[in-house]
Amino acid sequence: MEKVVSGIRPTGNLHLGNYFGAVKSFVKMQDEYECMFFIADWHSLTTHPKPDDIQSSARTILAEYLACGIDPEKAPIYIQSDVKETLELYLFFNMNMYLGELERVTTFKEKARKQPNNVNAGLLTYPTLMAADILQHRAHKVPVGKDQEQNMEMARKCARRFNNIYGVEFFPEPQNFYFADKAVKVPGLDGSGKMGKSEGNCIYLRDEDKVISKKVMKAVTDLGPQEPNSERPEIIENLFSFLQLCNDQEAYDYFDEKWKDCSIRYGDLKKQIAADLISTIAPIRERITEFSANKDLLDRIARQGAERARESAAATLNEVRKIIGFRMG
């Protein structure tokens, strides 16, 4: 069975972009692949989180993973920092990567532009730590969003370069994995192209019904169609995409026709979107509350997940040491 690995940074609560773009697919994968999911707390250190926030954020994401339907018996969930083997593999990969190629990674350039006073080495070598997360389990596939595709190419480069340097075929080159034909993109409600925490345009899985409605009703719109069958601008197409994400084809067709004949009322469209999102989020939110209240359960699941992840990573690392020429652990 093919191995699938994926993780998410514990930087606050999961939002709709995380859910539709990744976690919803994770739930399907666990029945079809050998999966491991992790909470990437080391990755979050690039933004210097407070010590208390690291543990609480990890528990938050774990509770949300479980609430969304990930079964730790089928797919172990572990916290990245509980698997120390990752760091040694990260070191080995860094020795084979070059400054120029790391500096050309788009996500690094964007982060460096947005936070010029915090261009740290961890930010620069983010792709090699991500490669270690994936390749320590010798994963074949990784569910990714559009913004992670270049980092995935760097992971393949790490695997390919290691194999070439040492004349082996040890690491598979992990492939981007989508359940749809392409990565799911969840738009922001502010008219931007993507929902994201840093953009402040998110609907979270913990949001109450009234909060969801309020956020949707504030979504950016325009003056409406000025002539029949005109093309929808991006900010309006973004709103229509929420209907498709919630699988509400009937509502989509209804408002599509209203757009085409210039009779659409954005207030009605937003009310429909809010209702659909509430029906999707409300049951997840209730389960999040239940799991969050049981810290002993969360700690046990994380501990058991780490044991299985360390077993997998240790086996890989012993082989890597032997290939490179170091004493095996």
Q: Which residues are catalytic?
A: 111, 194, 197
The CA distances from residue 124 to 43, 108, 152, in Å, are 11, 6, 15
H or E element: which one contains 77?
A: strand 77-79
Angstrom CA distances, 114 to 18, 208, 300, 304, stand at: 22, 31, 38, 38
Bin 327: left if φ > 0, else alpha if -120 < ψ < 50, else beta. Answer: beta
Residue 7 DSSP code: E
What's the CA gap between 48 and 123, in Å, rounded?
Answer: 11
CA atoms within 13 A on the CB side of 78: 24
Amino acid at 235: I
Q: How far apart are the first and last CA of the chain?
A: 27
CB atoms within 10 A of CB 233: 12
Nearest to 101 by CA among 127, 121, 133: 127
How many residues are present in the chain?
329
Q: Which of 9, 26, 58 is nearest to 303 (CA)?
A: 58
CB distance 33 to 62 below 8 Å: no
**Contact of 99 with 326, CB cutoff 8 Å:** no
Torsion of CA 141, 145, 151, 156, to 10 degrees: 20
Contacts of 325 (CB under 8 A, 6+ apart): none
